Amino acid sequence: MTYRVGEAHSMGFQVFVPFSPWSWLLLLVALKCPEASSDLNESTNSTAQREPNVRFAAAGSEPDEKISVFALDYDYVQIPYEVTLWILLASLAKIGFHLYHRLPGLMPESCLLIIVGALVGAIIFGTDHKSPPVMDSSIYFLYLLPPIVLEGGYFMPTRPFFENIGSILWWAGLGALINAFGIGLSLYLICQIKAFGLSDVNLLQNLLFGSLISAVDPVAVLAVFEEARVNEPLYMMIFGEALLNDGISVVLYNILIAFTKMHKFEDIEPVDILAGCARFVIVGVGGVFFGVIFGFISAFITRFTQNISAIEPLIVFMFSYLSYLAAETLYLSGILAITACAVTMKKYVEENVSQTSYTTIKYFMKMLSSVSETLIFIFMGVSTVGKNHEWNWAFICFTLVFCQIWRAISVFALFYVSNQFRTFPFSIKDQCIIFYSGVRGAGSFSLAFLLPLSLFPRKKMFVTATLVVIYFTVFIQGITIGPLVRYLDVKKTNKKESINEELHIRLMDHLKAGIEDVCGHWSHYQVRDKFKKFDHRYLRKILIRKNQPKSSIVSLYKKLEMKQAIEMVETGILSTAAFSVPCQAQRIHRIKRLSPEDVESMRDILTRNMYQVRQRTLSYNKYNLKPQTSEKQAKEILIRRQNTLRESMRKGHSLPWGKPAGTKNIRYLSFPYGRPQPAGRDTRVAELTDNDSSDSELPSIMFKAHSRAGILQESRLTQEIIPMKSLPRGGKPSHFGYQRNTSQEEHDGRGRRGALRPKPLFHAVDEEFESGEESGEETSAIRSRWSGEHRPTRQHHRSHSPLLQRK
């Protein structure tokens, strides 16, 4: 059976493990059908056009003798069927890839996709499929490319990007040009050598080939970089290059194609060349301009969509796509347009759209780009395994060699120059890494594939050479770059995520801005500052929704939640010793680590309100989004919440913290100054007033130890919480603790909060924080409690809120 061919390719990866029997069955069916298919399959030049009428015509033309009870009509569904199968196959492969968790750190995911593509190609070739899929120019440029670029632009971390923008533009722009022309010219010189039999390849063709082969796709290696945790500027350079490189290559490609179409190469005058250069600039800048305009328009529109939030993702996608198409109409760079649109739009759209729309947009974007890329690699695989190759040793080898040489030249030359202007230059090690990360990808292949045969009689050779370069760079460079980074010991980033760090860095930003103001020096930092002010004064007013009743309540809710949480924790965890001397107690008991959720929410507040959003670059992963909450705790929360509610009902409390919080009775854990309140939400004592010292009003949520093995703090907690805390003033024991629900409820709570979005989370949770998960659960317990009762008793709570303020 033909699928054995696939298994032979397995190379020992576990990718085939998850391949269920069903998928093989499907594959089998798919493979058998072409053999049985009719001749109607032949015509497909463009996979987009299938004639649905054909089926009916065929049925009508020959009157059947009998009515067939069971008939097979594969032609009708062939294309969608096969496309779907391929996508599924790639997805299954990805699942397998990630199952073996060490793999993503070893090699880029492109490797995997290429293997899958080659596999499919092999299958198709093996079965002698009558109509192998082909990709034509319009499909690629109109359908497959935009999602990939959109995703890149949308998930771009803006602040580091703009901090390094000078270097990035210089490097990406000039680098692409140097590479393209360098490779093209060198190859032309090689072609002049008669011995290789390449004399019919003229200069323009070589230049064109140079431009398409210089399109790198280093995003593929970013995942590997993440593992190695390289420093931020380096990461940004590669990211920036990836982003801009596609655009520049395509622009260059189109210009050169236009030149090529001017048949006679002798007709090209210097004027044309100048026109070409001018066009290059206009195309680039015009594209960006279009993108920005469309970005603002869509941000503006999302301001009004609060009642029909279901169309918000639609608006985002349609406007981005529209920017691409509009730019393409005018022969401007659609890629740069869509990138600029995504970058512009993101900030405002994120604030305007509802939580679910936001999530939808993110996931849908990832999905679309994933599908596109998969399809491109499939096409690539199909082309690989086939008869349409032309192998020319000289051309191919020299292409490889020149690719590397010119990349090295451009890296070292350009960075030498840009280092003069950078405060913190890139070291030679960094430059080596950048050089080595020149991995080609789907972009080059597509451009090669779409070369018009009429203008390029030796197209096959180009395609073959491109494929060789891609395979070489992706496999060899892609796999070895990880160890190389580790070996060179590139300067790592400090990924410790802590409130302190955030605070200090914010402080320093402001400090820097202040000092620069005092010095009267204008720097790029101030440009950003000025932009932010402009943004605040004008743009935000126009583009962001004014009254967001949902989210202002939600933000109030969140604030109250936090307040309650803090207070609940305070009363929940006490030690007996502290009570006797409330005012003097200056102790910290059982310092509990802040849970990741706490840290995250605090940082959310910090980032949103203190400064321009500081994106964490290192969470970017091209192929998936990090999961946001732990699903497994969901059920537990629900159960516990119900218990909580039941108990509170029983005890007759409508509110978890019934007492109007006047004064604090319980103090312990304090820092020397001011309010003797413990630092840290976990150890806070809820404020009980002594006015109402009735026992009954106390929250009745019982604190139950979460059954986690081996966490010492918990057991300590359970022992000490339950006994009653005596109130210094009233001397009244109040019973509490509270339910420890885990983060699901918190997640729900968060879900309702428009203002606070769960961001792609850090995955490198510090060891310090691990034990603190319970505290997060505590606080989320409060929230869940709160959320459970908030709705019916909202007014009630509001009236209590002033009372609950600390005095």
Restricting to residues 579-618, which ones interact with another protein according to CB under 8 A?
586-594, 598-599, 602, 605-606, 608-610
Q: Which of residues 451-470 bind another protein (CB under 8 A)?
A: none
Q: Is 540 in the site for another protein (CB under 8 A)?
A: no
Lay out the site mask for another protein across 735-764 (x = CB under 8 A, - = otherwise). Answer: --------------------x---------
Q: Which is nearer to another protein, 602 or 724 (CB)?
A: 602
CB of 727 to another protein, least distance (A): 21
The DSSP string of 255-321 is HHHHHHHSS-GGG--HHHHHHHHHHHHHHHHHHHHHHHHHHHHHHHHHTT-TT-GGGHHHHHHHHHH
Give the footprint of another protein on residues 500-519 (CB under 8 A): 500-501, 503-508, 510-519
At closest approach, how far in Å is the CB of 578 from another protein? 9
Contact with another protein (CB under 8 A) among 3, 181, 300, 525: 525
User: Quick one: which segment of 24-32, 165-173, 433-441, 522-530 binds another protein (CB under 8 A)?
Assistant: 522-530
- For the residues of 573-623, what is the DSSP string, one character each? S--HHHHH-TTT-----SPPPPPHHHHHHHHHHHHHHHSS----GGG--SS
First CA to last CA across the chain, in angstroms? 79
Check residue 547 for interaction with another protein (CB under 8 A).
no
DSSP-assigned letters across all residues of 14-76:
GGGTT--HHHHHHHHHHHHHHHH--GGGGG-SSTT---HHHHHHHHHHS--SS--SS---HHH
What tokens were used for 684? 């806070």
CB of 250 to another protein, least distance (A): 35
CB nearer to another protein: pick between 101 and 546? 546
- The token pair that represents 122 in the structure block: 């092999």
Which is nearer to another protein, 415 or 456 (by Cβ)? 415
Binding flag, residue 671, another protein (CB under 8 A): yes
| Under rule CB under 8 A, residue 672 binds another protein | yes
Q: Which is nearer to another protein, 453 or 519 (CB)?
A: 519
> Tokens 């004014």 map to which residue?
546
Please, are residues 147 and 368 in contact by the beta-carbon 8 Å criterion?
Answer: yes
Does residue 136 interact with another protein by CB under 8 A? no
Q: Is 163 in the site for another protein (CB under 8 A)?
A: no
Q: Interacting stretch for another protein, rule CB under 8 A, among 183-191, 318-326, 437-445, 561-569? A: 561-569
496 binds another protein (CB under 8 A): yes
CB 731 within 8 A of CB 694: no
Q: Which is nearer to another protein, 391 or 421 (by Cβ)? A: 421
Contact flag: residue 768 with another protein (CB under 8 A): yes
CB of 546 to another protein, least distance (A): 14
| Interface with another protein, residue 529, by CB under 8 A | yes
Question: Interface with another protein includes 541 (CB under 8 A)?
Answer: no
CB proximity list for 658: less than 8 A, separation 6 or greater: 692, 696, 697, 698, 699
Query: Applying CB under 8 A, does 229 fall inside the site for another protein?
Result: no
**265 near another protein, rule: CB under 8 A:** no
Among residues 521, 763, 791, 807, which is the contact residue for another protein, using CB under 8 A?
521
- The phi, psi pair for 328, rounded to 5°, reads -65, -35
Using CB under 8 A as the binding rule, whether residue 559 contacts another protein is answered as yes
| By the rule CB under 8 A, 646 interacts with another protein | no
Which lies closer to another protein via its Cβ, residue 593 or residue 704? 593
Verify binding: residue 677, another protein, rule CB under 8 A: yes
Distance of CA 692 to the CA centre of its chain: 51
Quote the DSSP letter at residue 197.
T
Among 674, 709, 710, 802, binds another protein (CB under 8 A): 674
Let me know the angle formed at the C-alpha of 459 by 50 and 409, rounded to the nearest 5 degrees: 125
**Which one, 163 or 272, has the nearer CB to another protein?**
163
Residue 575 sits in the site that holds another protein (CB under 8 A): yes
Question: Does residue 807 interact with another protein by CB under 8 A?
Answer: no
Stretch touching another protein by CB under 8 A, among 117-125, 475-483, 556-564, 622-630: 556-564
Return the number of the residue (367 or 515) whose C-beta is nearest another protein: 515
Nearer to another protein, 357 or 551 (CB): 551
Number of residues that bind another protein (CB under 8 A): 72
Q: Does 806 bind another protein (CB under 8 A)?
A: yes
Written in H, E and C, the secondary structure of 476-536 is HHHHHHHHHHHHHCCCECCCCCCHHHHHHHHHHHHHHHHHHHHHCCCCHHHHHHHHHHHHH
Stretch that binds another protein, among 4-12, 192-200, 328-336, 562-570 (CB under 8 A): 562-570
Q: Which is nearer to another protein, 360 or 617 (CB)?
A: 617
Q: Is the distance from CB of 125 to CB of 6 less than 8 angstroms? A: no
364: Cα within 13 Å, side-chain hemisphere: 13
Positive or negative: CA dihedral 331, 349, 624, 435: positive
Q: Which of residues 678-737 bind another protein (CB under 8 A)?
A: 678-684
The CA–CA distances, whole Å, from 44 to 34, 51, 56 equal 14, 10, 18
Q: Which of 428, 441, 499 is nearest to 470 (CA)?
A: 441
φ, ψ for residue 639, nearest 5 deg = -65, -50
Q: Pattern 465-494, binding to another protein, x per CB under 8 A? A: -----------------------------x
Cα 787 to its chain centre, rounded Å, is: 30
**Nearest CB to another protein, comparing residues 377 and 738:** 738
Sign of CA dihedral 678, 681, 682, 685: positive
Kindly give, in sequence order, each residue whose CB lies less than 8 Å from that of residue 773, ignoring residues fewer than 6 positions away.
Answer: 595, 596
Cβ 778 to another protein shortest distance, Å: 14
Phi-psi region of 680 (alpha: psi -120 to 50; beta: other; left: phi over 0): left
- Shortest Å, Cβ 506 to another protein: 6
Binding test (CB under 8 A) with another protein, winner from 261, 486, 533, 635:
533
Stretch that binds another protein, among 300-308, 316-324, 370-378, 557-565 (CB under 8 A): 557-565
Secondary structure class of 170 (helix, strand, coil): helix
Among 359, 498, 628, 630, binds another protein (CB under 8 A): 498
Q: How far is the CB of 562 from another protein (least distance, A)?
A: 6
Binding status of residue 423 toward another protein by CB under 8 A: yes
Report the nearest approach of another protein to the CB of residue 765 (Å). 14
**Least distance (Å) from another protein to the CB of residue 796?**
20
Smaller CB separation from another protein, 258 or 556: 556
Size of the chain, expressed as the number of residues it contains? 807
CA-wise closest residue to 541 among 533, 549, 529: 533
